[in-house]
Amino acid sequence: MSLLVLKHIKKSFSTGHQNEIQALKDVSFSVDKGDYVAIMGESGAGKSTLLNIIATLTHPTSGKITMNGIDLSHLSENEAAKFRRTQLGFVFQSFNLLDTFNNRDNIYLPLVLAKKSPQFMANRLAPLSQLLGIANLLDRQSFEISGGQKQRVAIARALITEPRLLLADEPTGALDSSNTEKILNIFERVNSKGQTILMVTHSAQAASYSRRTLFIKDGKIYNELYRGDQSRNQYLQKIIDSLTALEEVQ
């Protein structure tokens, strides 16, 4: 069953003087429950705009986007905020942890906003901190830990609400290779437990952990790859081939 459905999504920005930039021209695709989708493309291809629309941070100019049957195209600001709070989890390239909280409170933040009891939050956090290997970091401040650790704390914050969809924006963009691998392994494990993930990335390596990769160019979906039964290396090779082909199309 499709969790997220995008139909003919268009997004244009006016830059004054009647000039319009079309960031997304006609994008349609859907994401099934339990899927792990990577979206690849060059800078300026429209990846971020697409992510912002799915994240309800901005509205599409036209087209329809639904998640779990809810129409996201016309949510008011307050409805959108509530939707994000209850249905989505975010992981960013720059972690976006708040310095005024320690790591535990950073993770608790969305649950506190949802008015959950301290006991409830502690129960949710315990298995998660085991899974992510951050149990011994919880009482430290976010700026006292390394980038890889920060990202794991940020993932905990995204997952603690048990969101329907985890959105990741270049989650490994600021990490070294060993930390990148750790994070990608975590994503894979989380997905295998049923978590739906949608990830925007530059990195073919990151995309190779997904079940499906969408290639976007000039505001359109250009190509689509499924991993199926392939090994990760085979899948990675196909992704790289596809990227090369994408570059040659002018």
Partner 1 sequence: MIPLKLARHHLTKNKTQTLPFILSNSMWVMITYIFFSMIHDTNLKAMAYGTETDYILKLGLVFVVLIATLSTFYAERLLSKQRMQELGLYSILGLTKHHLRQIVFWENILFYLICMVIGSAFGFAFSKFAFMGLKSLIGTTLLHQTLTWTPLLFDVLVFAVVFSLIILFDFWELRKVDPIDLWGKTAQPEKEPKSHLFLAILGLIILAIGYYISVTVKPTQDAFSRFIVAVLFVVVGSYLVFITTSISGLKALKKRPKYYYQPNHFISVSNMLYRMKQNGAGLASISLLCTSVLVALTASFSLIAGEKNIIDFYGPRDVQIVAPKPLSPVEKQHIKRIAKQNHITMRAPQTVSVTTPVTGVLIGDRFKQNTIHKANYVLSSLDLKQYNRLQRTHYRLARDEVLVYVSGSRYDKQALKIQGKRYRVKPIAQFSGAFAYGHLMTFKLVFVVAANKKIAHEINPYPEIYAQGFNIAGTNKQQKRFSNTVQQTLKVASENFTSKPVVRSLLQAIFGSLLFMGILISLVMICATVMIIYYKQVSEGYADQKYYRVMSEIGLSRQETTHAIRSQVLTVFLLPIVGAVINLGFALPALKSSLSELGLYDSKILTMVSVILTAVLLVSYMLIYMATAHVYRHIVNQGMV
Residues binding partner 1 (CB under 8 A): 52, 55, 57-58, 77-78, 80-86, 88, 90, 92, 96-102, 105, 108-110, 112-113, 115-118, 121, 141-143, 157
- Minimum Å gap between C-beta 157 and partner 1 is 8
Closest to partner 1 by CB, 84 vs 227, is 84
Closest to partner 1 by CB, 77 vs 248, is 77
- Minimum Å gap between C-beta 98 and partner 1 is 6
- Minimum Å gap between C-beta 147 and partner 1 is 14
SS (H, E, C) the chain: CEEEEEEEEEEEEECCCCCEEEEEEEEEEEEECCCEEEEECCCCCCHHHHHHHHCCCCCCCEEEEEECCEECCCCCHHHHHHHHHHHEEEEECCCCCCCCCEHHHHHHHHHHHCCCCHHHHHHHHHHHHHHHCCHHHCCCEHHHCCHHHHHHHHHHHHHCCCCCEEEEECCCCCCCHHHHHHHHHHHHHHHHCCCEEEEEECCHHHHCCCCEEEEEECCEEEEEEECCCCCHHHHHHHHHHHHHHHHHCC
Closest to partner 1 by CB, 70 vs 98, is 98
Closest to partner 1 by CB, 132 vs 158, is 158
- Minimum Å gap between C-beta 177 and partner 1 is 25
Closest to partner 1 by CB, 73 vs 141, is 141
- Minimum Å gap between C-beta 68 and partner 1 is 16
